Amino acid sequence: MSNNIKYWKGVEELNQTPDFKAAEKKEFAEYLPVEDFVGDKSLMEGSKTSRRDFLKYLGFGVTAASLAACETPVQRVIPHVVKTDKTNPGVANYYATAYNDGNDYADIVVKTREGRPIKIEGNKLSAFSGGGVNARINSSVLSLYDGQRLKAPRIAGNEVSWSAFDKDVEGKLQAALNGGGKVRILTNSISSPSTLKLIANFQEKYPDADIQHINYDAASFSGALSANEEAFGKRALPSYHLNKAKSIVSIGGDFLNTFPNSVMLAKQYAQGRNPEKGWMSKHFQFESSMSLTGSNADVRVPIRPSEHAAVLLALYNHVAEVTGGSKVSSSSSAYEEKVKQAAQHLIANKGKSILFVGSNDRNMQLMAIAINQALGNYGKTIDKDLTINLKKGDDNKVKALVSELNSGTVDALIVDGVNPAYSLPSQLKFAEAMGKAKMSVVFANRANETTAAASHLAASNHYLESWNDDNPQVGTYSLTQPTITPLFDTRQMQDCLLKWMGEDKTYYDFIRENWIATSGMAAGPAFDEFWNTTLQNGTYKTDAAAAAVESEPKAIDAVSVARSIGKQATGEWEIEFYQKTGIGDGNQAHNPWLQELPDPISKITWDNYIAMNPTDAREMGFATEYGEQKDANTVNITINGQTFENVPVIAQPGQARKSLSVAVGYGQTIGKENEVIGFNVFPAMNYKGGEVANYTAEVKLEDADGKYQIATTQTHQTIMGRDSVVRETSFSTYQSGDKEKFNPEHTIATHKGEMSVNKVDLWASHPVAAAGHHWGMTIDLNSCIGCGSCVTSCTSENNVPVVGKDEVRRSREMHWIRIDRYFSSNPEDVENRNYTEMETPEDNPQVVHQPMMCQHCNHAPCETVCPVAATTHSNEGINQMTYNRCIGTRYCANNCPYKVRRFNWFSYQNLDKFAALNPSQDDLGRMVLNPDVTVRARGVMEKCSLCMQRIQDGKLTAKKEGRPVVDGDIETACSSACPTNAITFGDYNNKASKVLERSKSDRAFRVIEEVGTQSNVYYQVKVRNTETTSA
């Protein structure tokens, strides 16, 4: 299968345009700004000295002198002489806690050094999130040290003390409460039982007052919640078991990225995609824009947003025909054959299948429930009793709140954890309505659109400075504990509410009291032991059965529901709103780690944009090549009456024809200069049938006749001749057991005849095979979903600098690990016009995500060309850098076939150009740096080190405990963060290690192994379940 497949990173590479060919041959700039290094510009004026000539003279002639001159600057500090009883200098402490911002949740472990949180990883004890994290969660530690955080409370824009703030708020609040006034509390979805109890106590204390609590989600699931309430009697989302599903069909549902508990769903998805257990799930995806989930599907069908309903109804009719249900009226679909295949596969796997629907329309969600009921999935792959409590938002109640505010009858509005003035549709005019409340108190840790309209601004704690608890799923609880005392004069909402209620206790005391009351345990040693154990583990799971829901689910009248869905509005253009894996709903849009994380599909950083099908783009005369080659075109677009001018439009392979997509969460300020990144499309969203719709056909598009610089990494570090870079096969071919068909061994011609490339040594191997350690890694392409968690985890662990949009455009991003996204197409199918019934490959390509870092080659090409031995091979199999020796010739980067080395063009930690974005530019931001990893200087080459500091720590820990290192003791930053366990790290010399077992698998291969580098990183062949059989 893989022999016939063509891989390409972008449309420009697929079409082999002249600009791409020129850029491909010119990996480095022809002329270097040497004056920036030498310092005397007058000597360099008019110089045409090429980089090759300059380094030819410099690299060898003055090596010895350069070594001494280019040493990393020495900085001396005064040691912490008197250590505390809980802190050992140089030794990390770890605290279990939880992350919950209303959009993402995970049980986590926070690494601290000398009292500073510096790294976030998943809690392996968590039964809910499964020990993984996504990119947004592990990057959240950076926001703790954000210099733009609020540092004290404010009244009417002026900073005041908390005593003055409390006095003013209490006086106005008590007057409203004692007078029977209206008080409204607007928060993100709260799953904390103690916070909910506190709000309930607040309501009970003032029975004459009208106090209401409204949950609000910027990324709304209100339609699904309402549908589940109607079907099962409980307004909550069910739990899914993807690892038990043999058939998965999704209509617009990006469940690997945006669904509640997507971290665990990703883990389960990978478990179901493991072909080595004898079966693997088959995944059908019907969607408009290429999503993270859709990029992993076996069968992906691009459809316009208005066609989602037709596909859903047609799917229902196919299922009803077999299960005996009443058929509904549905319009004909151009994708009938694909819908029929999906339905047949669902029916063949009744009770072992799942249907997802991403629409926020209540009736479409009801139809999805009806199909899953007909397939017998509830109680098997879907658990309606084991409900998830992370999404509770009610769009109708939010709309009613705005009406109340506009009426001027609300005496006090308390807002916490949300920014509705930014994220609500503009038709509600929330900021204007909030101004009509007699008092508005907004809790936030940064100034935003909602705080600007508030009378009182309460500077709130970061979650790493706070106490809390969570009940993310029925029967599962967690504790959130502070890992550092508040850096500023801030306070969390719960402590404020207790104070305003006249309670003389802290929220920590309240949580303990609530846990004592609900656990049935009396205060004393037994509870203290239980509390301390839970606090140490971070999570607790009860044995109690799930809370009862309606015993007999209500029968859904599919005919009536289908009538309510009706014919969807269409237009010349339709646009879909989605969340990116990095920015999400915009809660962390100010985080530069996430802004610099390439989108998994477009590979664009630092922007949102209008995505369009490449054929549509060409018909409109728009560019389809970006980055250094060409700028993107701009358009003026009107969405539901909201006009956005001069926004970039990019050609996105896989986008449905005549459809557009745009990411929410942008249009916010970032950095010290308050630069606005992207544009905010939340105001253009609109209510439809009681819920905020995630698509609209009310779109007008016109060419703005402008250009926009796009920073994309899609063709950076391109590996030429990649026939052996990615390997994939079909499930049936893999099951045949004939390795030559799906993973043939590479051979080369020698004087002794054809021989395996792995048996040909260029020179004597390093002594790692028999004794000591031999570190390495395996990466399963079937498990990697391309989420980017490994990228941000590596950035956090290894002090990787942020370079900004302009430098990314120049191919100077510094990530040690990147995820290469390859589109693939079969030339034979294209020639026969048989390519998934599409006219051109870019209309619907398949996708492979491949993490790429230093391969730590046993025969490393970089080591042989370094003139100063700055890159060498350790006796434990690691290709290592000695920064003090590096003089920056970049010979190693030129000789690396994997393009994984990064050069420090500037001193990112102190150059003014990067002061606005780089965390290491100020004293507060530097607190996030890992003291175990050197911050590299200008002119130095860097790359993946296999987290040498973690290896050393693991070895020393084992030594202190008087035992050998065992498998699993040491994890790299990327492997520990991966939610799907796609990355395995270990010791090849340990015969019981997982890494050795996986490297011996029939699916194991090395990237471009014919070069003879004998890398220590193995990949496993990607297997697709593309057969048309039902089972």
DSSP character string of 990-1012: -TT-HHHHHHTSTTEE-TTGGG-
pLDDT in tens, 349-369: 999 999 999 999 999 999 999
Q: Is 155 helix (H, G, I), strand (E, B) or coil?
A: strand
Contacts for 924 with CB less than 8 Å, ≥ 6 apart = 145, 146, 147, 487
Q: How far apart (Å, rounded) are the C-alpha atoms in residues 257 and 273?
A: 17
pTM metric for this prediction? 0.88
Q: How far apart (Å, rounded) are the C-alpha atoms in residues 17 and 630?
A: 12
What DSSP character marks residue 446?
A: B
| Locus of tokens 């769903």 | 265
| Locus of tokens 């040594």 | 761
Predicted pLDDT at 831: 43
Tokens of 647: 């926004």
Predicted pLDDT at 840: 57
Helix (H), strand (E), coil (C) string for 476-511: EEEEECCCCCCCCCCCCHHHHHHHHCCCCCCHHHHH
Q: How far apart (Å, rounded) are the C-alpha atoms in residues 637 and 645?
A: 7
Residues, the chain, total?
Answer: 1031
Predicted pLDDT at 479: 93
Q: Is 837 helix (H, G, I), strand (E, B) or coil?
A: coil
Residue 932 backbone dihedrals phi, psi, to 5 degrees: -85, -5
Residue 778 backbone dihedrals phi, psi, to 5 degrees: -125, 145
Predicted pLDDT at 398: 95
- Evaluate the CA torsion angle 764, 766, 769, 771 in order and state its sign: positive
All structural domains of the chain, each given as residue ranges with its CATH number in brackets, are 2-27+719-1024 (3.30.70.20), 154-220+393-463+489-516 (3.40.50.740), 233-388 (3.40.228.10), 570-712 (2.40.40.20)
| Helix (DSSP H) and strand (DSSP E) numbers for the chain | 34, 47
Q: How far apart (Å, rounded) are the C-alpha atoms in residues 254 and 240?
A: 14
Q: Is 322 exposed, middle or buried (0-12, 13-18, 19+ CB in 10 A)?
A: middle
pLDDT in tens, 94-148: 999 999 998 999 999 999 998 899 999 999 999 899 999 999 999 999 999 988 8
Tokens of 144: 């703790």
Q: Which long-range contacts (CB under 8 A, 24 or more apart) does 237-240 make?
A: 237/387, 237/388, 237/390, 237/391, 238/378, 238/382, 238/383, 238/384, 238/386, 238/387, 238/388, 239/382, 239/383, 239/386, 239/387, 239/388, 239/473, 240/265, 240/268, 240/354, 240/381, 240/382, 240/383
Q: 1 with 742: CB under 8 angstroms?
A: yes
pLDDT in tens, 614-654: 999 999 988 877 766 678 899 999 999 999 999 999 999 99
- In what order do the strands lie in the sheet containing 299-302? 299-302, 282-287, 247-251, 353-357
Q: How far apart (Å, rounded) are the C-alpha atoms in residues 606 and 583?
A: 10
Q: Is 970 exposed, middle or buried (0-12, 13-18, 19+ CB in 10 A)?
A: buried
Q: How far apart (Å, rounded) are the C-alpha atoms in residues 795 and 275?
A: 32
The CA dihedral of 272, 276, 280, 283, to the nearest 10 degrees, is 80
The residues of the chain scoring below 70 in pLDDT are 1-87, 332-333, 544-552, 627-629, 670-673, 715-723, 762-770, 825-842, 1028-1031
